[in-house]
Chains A and B, each alone.
Chain A
Amino acid sequence: MIGTRDELLQSRAAAESKLNSYDCRILVCSGTGCIATGSRKIYEIFRELTQNAPQTTLEFAPHEGETKQVGVKNTGCQGVCELGPLVRIQKGNSVIQYIKVQPDDCSEIFEKSVIGDEIVERLLYHVDEKPCKGPEDIPFIAKQTRIVLKNCGKYDAQSLEEYLASGGFAALEKAMFELTPEQVIDEVDASGLRGRGGGGFPAGRKWKQVAGQKVTERYVVCNGDEGDPGAFMDGSVMEGDPYRMIEGMMIAAYAVKAQNGYIYVRAEYPNSVARLTKAIHILEENGLLGDNILGTDFCFHMHINRGAGAFVCGEGSALTASIEGKRGMPRTKPPRTVDKGLWERPTVLNNVETFANVPDIVMKGAKWFRTIGTEGSPGTKTFSLTGSIRNTGLIEVPMGTTLREIIYEIGGGLKDDAVFKAVQTGGPSGGCLTTEHLDEPLDFDSIKKFGSIVGSGGLVVMDENTCMVEVARFFMSFTQRESCGKCVPCREGTKRMLEILERIVAGKGVPEDMDELLELADTIQNTALCGLGKSAPKPVVSTLRHFRDEYEAHIIEKRCPAGVCSGLKQYIIDPEKCKGCSKCAKNCPAGAISGEIRSPYVIDQSKCLKCGACLDNCAFNAIDVK
């Protein structure tokens, strides 16, 4: 029970001394990625090894002779998701980062690195055949600036004790005992922290507006409905350092005098839901959530709502409607969420990463925060770096970092040395950045200028094998499917745009289609009710702007330059390889293949349905697709 400020200080001191008394810590990544590659099993094996070895003890028992105290911990995302399962062996300040650890590797690691002081070199990350010992030696991690993610990979994500030892709840303590609510808001306002969910609205201004309301029943809501396909940063924060985000929400609640907090998490993140639920439960048990927190009159209760598979619920008014048990449909604004949000009460609604930034801002001050990032967009931004890139994973960099640094220095360049074509940012609400933007500093304002948005932070790298028209179709089919149907421009407009795009990728486009797409885009952008609809045409407008030649190739030349669109593929029989067996002609449902036995067959392109039946059945690999 942590019922007073003194008890909090004592608990932290106890947690610190416990943390320092470990001889060794085995840190097993338990992010969604590493769990998928088998890290749970690795964790179990290390626990067993530690328990069974005579030289080590797992539970926190007094030292007996030479027995080493070894902690086996599940941590948040260690970053290099593609190289999982990831394991760190930490002794004091020395950390070894192992990658791709398989069950068979565990006893070797245990013998050499836990009991002994050797390194298993074959399990290290290598750059140009040079081994990297610690995480900081890996360029992917060394070139990042971690604030939001600073605990991920270092501490047990579920342990309140470890969070306290890392300095957790010091910011809440400072806010509650040394600052007035107004001072907290002023600090956040002065820091220039902007909403990390995509819009970039200043968080401090939002808080101020809620604090200034006459109604005293208020809410703090965290948007963890990270629905953008290709983005997983918020999920990583929720599952990797749940207490940090909760502390941020508590500071917000203290500042705006809110009594209840809600976290809305998408249902596709079962790990996040489970860890947040457990964290809240532990905090309630310890008295850090509930009535009279730390012996003051500050009371705050937290609740979790799971999403139910509706992308539009990432929009503020749809999200609050969903918490209220209604259909998640946006409403017209004003009134804004700060005036009438959840249950028509003033509500602070920020996303996961925004709240996770708050503890450090309160602790270290607005001035410190402003030393990172750019003037208009201070601080860092997390991105999920995926697609055709060598190092995929979770990154955090200062705002203003250039795309080139992200892709080539952190990401290690394109996969298989492919040629860079574009980066898609902001998911279905964003657009593309191309080679011409590689050296531009990325922040909220600059990306907007290039016709895209930071969005929640997905960066999907595309190479010459990606068809940009198909990508535009992909996003449009996503938004069309997710359109809630309330307003006509979005419901009907996205459907019409999708029809045109489907026509183009099927090889049936006409030149007028491009103008019609832009016209529809213009109408939807100007008249749709909510952000989902307003930004739905962005991927199309952006690809049309940067890759008009690809649209033209599809429409006029009936050719897909990337060779992706099956409707534009040509099946051709290689006369050198064809033995004239006639099997393809028999299998062709359209009767498009003809020829004479034992001499090469030919496909009549005007009859070909591009079904691929000939290709699947050819015993001589004689059919090429172009």
Chain B
Amino acid sequence: MLDETYYQKTDAIIARHSCEPRSLIPIIQDIQAEYRYLPPELLSYVAGKLGISESKAFSVASFYENFSFEAKGKYVIKICDGTACHVRKSAPIMERLYKELGLSKKKHTTDDQLFTLETVSCLGACGLAPAMMVNEQVHPKMTPDSAAELVEKLRKEESV
């Protein structure tokens, strides 16, 4: 069970939009931005408020890749595997970070909830391929070594 503050926050988010079915996607986007994931309880709650069935709301939320029902790490690392990045060798960067973070294709988030590793199809920074994004910041011209260094740096900042 989520505590009361989650529902209060959700009410505040709904109030920013019109309370009708068309607002479902923007509302759950805002919830996800707040908590870094979409708690299923809140999805049901929003469905009730907007007057749509839970199954409908779930079908929408599960359709779009951006929504996650599982908690994500504090740092969400998105490695771009768009065409330009792919051609300029983004795959070895992914491999290296899997290794550094102890993650795999099946396990996306570290146990300490610090890092989530994902791929993304294009960040629009093709001129600086290969690129990766940590939360909202794009890092250009990455190599396996520089990616590992960046992760190490973030880890150090956290342990201070």
Interface residue ranges, A against B (CB under 8 Å): 32-33, 35-37, 80-82, 84, 226-232, 235-236, 267-270, 305-311, 322-329, 384, 386-388, 392-394, 424, 427, 458, 460, 462, 466, 471, 474-475, 478, 482, 484
Contacts and interface: CB of A to CB of B under 8 A. Distances in A.
Contacts of A32: 123-125, 138
A227 B121 contact: yes
B60 A229 contact: no
Given A36-B139, A325-B21, A325-B25, A267 B66 contact: yes
Contact of A384 (B60, B127, B139): B127
A309 B140 contact: no
B56 to A, nearest CB: 9
B37 to A, nearest CB: 14
Given A270-B136, A427-B83, A229 B66 contact: no
A478 B121 contact: yes
Nearest to B25: A325
A621 B59 CA distance: 53
B23 interface: yes
17 contacts: A33-B125, A33-B140, A36-B140, A231-B124, A232-B122, A267-B66, A268-B123, A308-B64, A308-B67, A310-B63, A327-B60, A329-B63, A386-B126, A394-B127, A458-B126, A460-B84, A460-B126
B121 A231 contact: no
Contact of A227 (B122, B127, B128, B129): B122
A235 B87 contact: no
A438 to B, nearest CB: 19
B128 A229 contact: no
A309 B81 contact: no
A306 B26 contact: yes
B143 to A, nearest CB: 15
Nearest to A35: B138
Interface centre among B66, B126, B138 (most CB of A within 10 A): B126
Contact of B127 (A33, A325, A471, A474): A33
A393 B140 CA distance: 13
Given A228-B122, A229-B122, A268-B120, A387 B84 contact: yes
B86 A33 contact: no
B131 interface: yes
Contact of A81 (B26, B65, B121, B128): B128
A598 to B, nearest CB: 32
B82 interface: yes
Given A229-B81, A460-B87, A327 B63 contact: yes
Nearest to B121: A229
A474 B83 contact: yes
A327 B59 contact: yes
B44 interface: no
Contact of A269 (B67, B88, B124, B129): B124
Contact of A305 (B25, B64, B138): B25
B126 A230 contact: yes
Contact of B121 (A37, A84, A311): A311
A81 B87 contact: no
B88 A387 contact: yes
B125 A308 contact: no
Contacts of A392: 84, 126-129
Given A325-B23, A386-B84, A462-B87, A37 B65 contact: no
Nearest to A40: B137
B29 A306 contact: yes
Contacts of A327: 59-60, 63
Contacts of B63: 310, 327-329, 484
A310 B65 contact: yes
Given A36-B125, A231-B126, A387 B87 contact: yes
Contacts of B123: 32, 268
Given A327-B59, A387-B87, A235 B25 contact: no
Contact of A82 (B24, B82, B127): B127
Nearest to A313: B64
A138 to B, nearest CB: 15
A309 B83 contact: no
A311 B120 CA distance: 11
Interface string B46-65: 00000000000001100111
Contacts of B22: 323-325
A590 B67 CA distance: 41
B95 to A, nearest CB: 10
Contacts of B131: 36
Contacts of B127: 33, 80-82, 232, 384, 386, 392-394
Contacts of A307: 64, 66
Given A270-B136, A324-B22, A33 B65 contact: no
A309 B64 contact: yes
Contacts of B138: 32, 35-36
Nearest to A384: B126
Contacts of B59: 327
Given A82-B128, A226-B124, A268-B123, 12 more contacts: A36-B125, A36-B128, A81-B128, A229-B83, A229-B121, A232-B125, A269-B124, A305-B25, A311-B121, A323-B22, A424-B83, A474-B86
Contact of A460 (B23, B29, B83): B83
Interface in B17-45: 21-26, 29
A478 B122 CA distance: 11
Interface in B113-160: 120-129, 131, 136-140
A227 B126 CA distance: 13
- Closest A-B pairs by Cβ, 3 of them: A81-B127, A229-B82, A230-B83
A387 B83 CA distance: 8
Given A308-B29, A325-B24, A460-B87, A268 B122 contact: yes
A325 B61 CA distance: 10
A501 to B, nearest CB: 14
B30 to A, nearest CB: 10
Interface centre among B83, B127, B128, B129 (most CB of A within 10 A): B127
Contacts of B128: 33, 36-37, 81-82, 84, 392
B124 A305 contact: no
Given A388-B87, A462-B87, A308 B121 contact: no
A376 to B, nearest CB: 27
